[in-house]
Amino acid sequence: MKNILIAIILLTFSLYVEGQYQTTTVKTPTGVTADAYKFTGTDFTPDEIVTQNHNWTVGYNCEIIANSTLYYNCHGYAWHNSEGNMAQANLRWINDRNTYPPYAHNQNVDKYYTGTNPAYKEITVYNRAGIKVSYDPSDHSAVTSSTYGYFISKWASGPLVKHLPAQCPFYNGAVIKYYELNPSMSGSTSLLCYNVERNYTTNITDMPTATITWTPNAYVIPVSGAGTPTYRVKGSSGNGTGTVSFQITTPSGFTSQIFSKSFWVGKPVITNQKVDGNNYYSGIQLCPGNHWLSVTPVGSGAGNATWTVPSGVPYFVGNNTLDFTFPSSFSSLAITANSANTCGTSTNANFYLTKKTSGCTYSYGMTVYPNPASDYVMVMIEVTQPLVENSDAVSVDLAPKNATTIEPATYTLSIYNSQSMLIYTVTRNNKNFTVPLGSVQDGTYVIKISDGDNCYQQQLIVKRR
């Protein structure tokens, strides 16, 4: 009986409104054109509104939110009017079936969630307000309300009501489907230099009453477009990771997740300063002999470190490392490292090193050749006499382990990878080693020489191409 009553209402409606609608179009949130109608006739009288409200809702447990009207229908409300277009001049009637028999499905509403530029995506369950609902294939649309489990929908020419999913004249035989707004954010993540500008955009271009929030971090300066689909920024004078974030809230109550783009702003930054594998600190003292420094340049496009070494100091430049000899004739050393990208050159990383004059037993020197190496590497150890300020001060405490031969009887050579894992070790009673590298992968390693009491290390690069 309920379905017969609704059919009579719909037939009366089609006869009543013929010629009172003007064809027009609407835009989906992503700018796709959909067909619509604008009502130009005379709406229901107060008495007719009472009758329509009663006839549509009798027998249904629902709450009337707005009276019956000819200005908009379920599709118009759910997909267009509820998103900030509820002023009478903006109300639209949107059909998803042909106006005349055979009333076939014409895929008009489908443009909101299918095609080349859909504004919505189908989801399996909903947990928030503002989700679009389709009673498929019953030609009815709704919107989820702020009260969980309840929908809001316009019942054809009847009233706008709040109801449970099944408490609806279009429910029988329908499959409930949910569609969530699917915003995206586009824009470059490449290096951004100081005062250089760029745009970030969202695909939601035709929802003018939505709240679009763009949030830059401290390395990014806003230029224009706050609250609009296109946001323009520029790089600050700082050097670090810049971030631009985006979020949208719609009039129907939907709030999207936060989308972000991250990128490096400005020049590189030198980090992770180390001396012989240990963190560098101000005032560090080193025994004369061979040592190595390392840094990590950070930032998009950052090149390998460029080192500045005082004249008279032997050194070898590796991949962000510096192998050098601290001459016994020097009381201190000042070595700097920096890195450059297309935005400029980083601030110098400074190593201030002073000579250690006591507690240095042997000064080990190591020659590693070739370096970079491919199939093998030759290691030659050089040992000098104990390092003291006055040769008369030499005591037995400063003598090597094997005092009768002046130097240690055996040396242990070990090779470690970049994760500090031991990959090779050998012990010899001479100072010359030939190390095969056939099973060693390309990369950066550390060679360590130890006599049991003293240890020296140096970087090794394995590179076959």
Query: What span, in angstroms and rounded, lies between the C-alpha atoms of 249 and 309?
Result: 57
Contact 68, 194 (CB under 8 A): no
* C-alpha to C-alpha distance for 324 and 458, rounded to whole angstroms: 9
pLDDT tens digits, 220-236? 999 999 999 999 999 99
Q: Residue 37 — left, alpha, or beta (φ > 0 → left; ψ -120 to 50 → alpha)?
A: beta
Q: Token match 């005591």: residue?
A: 395
Q: What is the pLDDT of residues 32-56, one digit of tens each?
A: 999 999 999 999 999 999 999 999 9
Q: Are residues 279 and 248 in the same domain?
A: no
pLDDT of residue 453: 66
pTM > 0.85: no
pLDDT (0 to 100) of residue 10: 47
Region 147-154: mean pLDDT is 96
Label residue 449 exposed, middle or buried (CB < 10 Å: 0-12, 13-18, 19+): buried
Segment 245-256 mean pLDDT: 96
The reported pLDDT for the residue numbered 381 is 78
Residue 430 and residue 333 in one domain: no
Q: What is the rounded distance in angstroms from the CA atom of residue 415 to the CA atom of residue 436? A: 12
Torsion angle (degrees, nearest 10) of CA 70, 75, 79, 82: 40
Strand partners, 140: 135
Give the CATH number for residue 443: 2.60.40.1930
Point out the domain boundary residue: 237, 265, 293: 265
Last residue of a domain, one of 207, 242, 265: 265
Main-chain dihedrals φ then ψ at residue 355, nearest 5 degrees? -75, 135
Are residue 278 and residue 292 in the same domain, yes or no?
Answer: yes
Q: What is the pLDDT of residues 345-380, one digit of tens each?
A: 999 999 999 999 887 765 556 778 888 888 888 888
Check whether residue 143 and residue 120 sit in a common domain.
Answer: yes
Q: How far apart are CA 400 and CA 386, in angstroms?
A: 8
Among residues 181, 211, 234, the one where a domain terminates is 181
Asked if 309 and 384 sit in the same domain, the reply is: no
CA distance 329 to 338: 27
**Residue 276 structural domain:** 267-356
Give domain status of residue 456, yes or no.
yes
Q: What is the pLDDT of residues 98-138, one digit of tens each?
A: 655 566 667 899 999 999 899 999 999 888 999 999 998 88
**Residue 186 domain-assigned (yes or no):** no
Give the mean model confidence (pLDDT) for residues 155-160: 97
Is pLDDT of 392 > 80?
no
pLDDT for 87:
95
Residue linked to tokens 């240690």: 408
Task: For residue 53, give the H/E element and its range.
Answer: helix 46-57
Q: Which long-range contacts (CB under 8 A, 24 or more apart) does 415-420 make?
A: 415/440, 415/445, 415/446, 415/447, 415/448, 415/460, 416/445, 416/446, 416/448, 417/443, 417/445, 418/443, 418/444, 418/445
Q: What is the mean pLDDT of the chain?
A: 87
Regarding whether 135 and 76 lie in a shared domain, the answer is yes
Residue 395 scores a pLDDT above 90: no
Tell me if 63 is assigned to some domain.
yes
For residue 436, whether the previous peptide bond is cis, meaning omega lies within 30 degrees of 0, is no
Residues 47 and 35 in one domain: yes
In angstroms, rounded to a whole number, what is the distance separating the alpha carbons of residues 76 and 142? 10
Query: Which CATH number covers residue 197?
Result: 2.60.40
Q: Among candidates 218, 8, 32, which has minimal Cα distance to 119?
A: 32
- Exposure letters 130-166 (e unless 16+ CB within 10 A, then b): bbbbbbeebbbbbbbbeeeebbbbbbbbbbbbbbebe
pLDDT at 86: 94
Mean pLDDT of 176-201: 98
Same domain, 55 and 165: yes
The owner of tokens 């294939």 is: 137
Judge if 17 and 115 occupy the same domain. yes
pLDDT above 80 (res 145): yes
Residues 339 and 364 in one domain: no
Number of domains in the chain: 4
Q: What's residue 371's pLDDT?
A: 84
What's the rounded Cα separation, in Å, for the pair 404 and 426?
24
- Bridge-based pairing state of the strands 315-317 and 340-341: unpaired
Pairing status of strand 240-249 against strand 278-279: unpaired
Asked if residue 35 and residue 101 are part of one domain, the reply reads: yes
**Given this model, what pLDDT does residue 386 score?**
44
Which pLDDT does position 104 carry in this prediction? 66
Please check whether residues 162 and 24 belong to one and the same domain: yes
